[in-house]
């Protein structure tokens, strides 16, 4: 979604709302509302910094942004995100070691997703916690869980069969990648030797130990 007017991403400072073109402010508000609505239970109680790529906001517009995110239980942090500077060589290393390209849309969730919670996102989802049974993640990119995945996971939901699902422990009630579906086998699974990854191989979803 490179042409989106705004994006919400996790960073080392927490959530950052990036407005790509403040000159289209009415459409920016619509885009921001869509992002907030797609995962409102996860944003609730969080604070977010505001970053502008193009244009500037009037005091009235800033108040409208603050009011909108407040409706979703969020607080606007008045401090802007810290600017980062890299030497050319350091920038190349940072890009090479990054899991995703800088422009990719990735949502970082720093909590466990509980039963009954549903997260739909246009991009990649990284969960620093577990995904409990009865929870659901649906996204157009990859799903990475830094814990156990026991709920429903659907990666590549818009047809991307190159998407992956990664977890320290894969025990989903249902696993989907693009149009393919895999269900948990009957009986107790053996303990994995390490983190596990699911990907499409041929025309099936294959699970393997991540090395």
Per-residue model confidence as pLDDT tens for the chain (211 residues):
345 788 887 665 667 888 888 889 999 999 888 888 877 666 777 788 888 888 888 888 888 998 998 888 888 887 766 654 333 433 433 343 344 444 458 888 888 888 888 888 888 999 988 999 999 999 999 999 999 999 999 999 989 999 999 999 999 999 999 999 986 655 555 566 678 999 999 889 998 887 6
Q: Does domain 6-76 have CATH number 3.30.750?
A: yes
**Longest Cα pair distance anywhere in the chain, in angstroms?**
60
Per-residue model confidence (pLDDT) at position 192: 62
**What Cα–Cα distance (Å) separates residue 45 from each residue in 40, 50, 74, 76, 160?**
10, 16, 5, 11, 32
Judge contact between 80 and 57, C-beta under 8 A: no
Q: Where are the domains of the chain?
A: 6-76, 106-209
Judge contact between 52 and 19, C-beta under 8 A: yes
Per-residue model confidence (pLDDT) at position 3: 57
Output the pTM of the full model. 0.55
If one counts every other C-beta atom within 10 angstroms of the C-beta of residue 52, the result is 15
CATH class in words for 106-209: mainly beta
Per-residue model confidence (pLDDT) at position 26: 92
Per-residue model confidence (pLDDT) at position 48: 83
């Amino acid at each position: 979604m490179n042409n989106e007017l705004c994006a919400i991403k996790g960073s080392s400072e927490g959530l950052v709302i990036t407005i790509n073109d403040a000159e289209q402010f009415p459409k920016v508000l619509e885009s921001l509302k869509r992002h907030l609505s797609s995962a409102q239970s996860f944003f609730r109680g969080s604070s977010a910094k505001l970053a502008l790529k193009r244009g500037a906001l009037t005091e009235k517009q800033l108040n409208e942004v603050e009011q909108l995110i407040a409706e979703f239980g969020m607080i606007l942090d008045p401090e802007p995100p810290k600017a980062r500077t890299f030497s050319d060589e350091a920038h190349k290393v940072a890009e090479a070691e990054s899991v995703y390209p800088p422009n990719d849309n990735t949502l970082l969730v720093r909590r466990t997703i509980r039963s009954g919670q549903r997260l739909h996102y246009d991009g990649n989802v990284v969960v620093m916690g577990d995904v409990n049974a009865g929870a659901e993640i649906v996204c157009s990119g990859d799903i990475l869980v830094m814990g156990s995945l026991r709920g429903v996971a659907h990666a590549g939901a818009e047809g991307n069969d190159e998407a992956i699902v990664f977890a320290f422990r894969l025990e989903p009630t249902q696993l989907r990648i693009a149009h393919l579906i895999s269900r948990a086998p009957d009986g107790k699974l053996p303990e994995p030797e390490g983190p596990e990854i699911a990907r499409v191989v041929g025309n099936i979803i294959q699970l393997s130990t991540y090395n």
